[in-house]
């Protein structure tokens, strides 16, 4: 098995590769060049295990939410690698990747909310409890205002926003930026469990639907 995991959901991008004997991971902060940087970093990691793209056997990709273009870069790259050889592929919501390091502490009285910037001064959030999962979009202020004594928060949104006034009893979990090793290990477990998807099920998850205006009709027709 040579598994490649790709996450370009946001400016904090990452890639991981494992052949079950060796594993290499790389994360970087990207502004506008996800596609170019992803290709370059993929070549580097493949070189570390003395392999090339044709040797890849399994793929995993983060589905979003995140930046409209950046999410699509990761998905299109993963599908481009998987389709020619009909490779098995897994798509994982980005909120689920952020939650993964803390999944073991979920309980009936503990909520963990993953937060990702959604633009327009709002955030995409997904709240996990052992009994249910809810999600939505709101301002960070409203999200924090409605938090309670059993709420914990995680996600890269807090990486440079440490001055937020969380509820006195709320907890900001330590790992803020998504770890490519975490995603790679999660994907490996999902493959072992048989949780891979068909190509037509690998679709981006957006915080909100993209604004695409209808084409203007031509006068006189």
Domain match, 126 and 162 both: yes
In 10 A of CB 117, how many CB atoms? Answer: 20
Residue 211's pLDDT band, with cuts at 50, 70 and 90, is: low
Q: Tell me: the pLDDT tens digits for 183-206?
A: 999 999 999 898 777 777 899 999
Q: Tell me: the pLDDT tens digits for 115-124?
A: 999 988 999 9
> What whole-number percentage of the chain has pLDDT above 70?
89
Domain match, 52 and 13 both: yes
Task: Name the pairing type of β-strands 89-92 and 122-128.
Answer: unpaired
Dihedrals φ, ψ of 29, to 5°? -100, 120
Domain match, 82 and 115 both: no
Q: Domain range spanning residue 107?
A: 98-172
Domain match, 42 and 140 both: no
Rounded Cα–Cα distance for residues 1 and 57 (Å)? 6
Residue 63's pLDDT band, with cuts at 50, 70 and 90, is: very high
In contact, 116 and 66? CB cutoff 8 Å: yes
CATH of the domain at 68: 3.30.420.40
> What whole-number percentage of the chain has pLDDT above 90?
70
Rounded Cα–Cα distance for residues 51 and 118 (Å)? 37
Asked if the structure places residue 188 within a domain, the reply is yes
Rounded Cα–Cα distance for residues 152 and 131 (Å)? 16
Residue 173, H or E segment: none
Q: Which of these, 34, 64, 45, 25, lies nearest to 179 by C-alpha position?
A: 25
Q: Tell me: the pLDDT tens digits for 118-146?
A: 988 999 999 999 999 999 999 998 998 88
How buried is 104 (Cβ within 10 angstroms: 0-12 exposed, 13-18 middle, 19+ buried)? exposed
In contact, 178 and 94? CB cutoff 8 Å: yes
Asked if the structure places residue 213 within a domain, the reply is no
pLDDT at 127: 96
Does the pLDDT at position 216 exceed 80? no
Asked if the structure places residue 211 within a domain, the reply is no
In contact, 153 and 170? CB cutoff 8 Å: yes
CATH of the domain at 154: 3.30.420
């Amino acid at each position: 098995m040579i598994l490649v995991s790709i996450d370009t959901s946001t400016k904090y991008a990452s890639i991981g590769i494992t052949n079950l004997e060796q594993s290499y991971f790389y994360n970087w902060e990207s502004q506008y060049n996800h596609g170019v940087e992803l290709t370059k970093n993929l070549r580097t990691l493949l070189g570390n295990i003395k392999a090339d793209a044709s040797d890849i056997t399994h793929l995993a990709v983060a589905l979003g939410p995140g930046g409209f273009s950046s999410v699509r870069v990761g998905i299109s790259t993963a599908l481009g690698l998987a389709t020619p050889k009909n490779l098995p592929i897994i798509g994982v919501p980005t909120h689920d990747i952020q939650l993964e390091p803390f999944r073991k502490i979920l309980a009936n009285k503990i909520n963990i909310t993953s937060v990702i910037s959604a633009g327009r001064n709002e955030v995409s959030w997904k709240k996990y409890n052992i009994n249910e999962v809810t999600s939505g979009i709101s301002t960070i202020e409203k999200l924090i205002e409605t938090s309670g004594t059993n709420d914990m928060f995680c996600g890269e949104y807090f990486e440079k926003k440490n001055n937020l006034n969380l509820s006195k009893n709320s907890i900001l979990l330590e790992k803020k930026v998504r770890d490519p090793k975490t995603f790679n290990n999660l994907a490996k477990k999902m493959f072992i469990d048989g949780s891979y998807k068909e190509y037509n099920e690998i679709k981006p998850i957006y915080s909100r639907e993209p604004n695409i205006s209808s084409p203007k009709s031509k006068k006189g027709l």
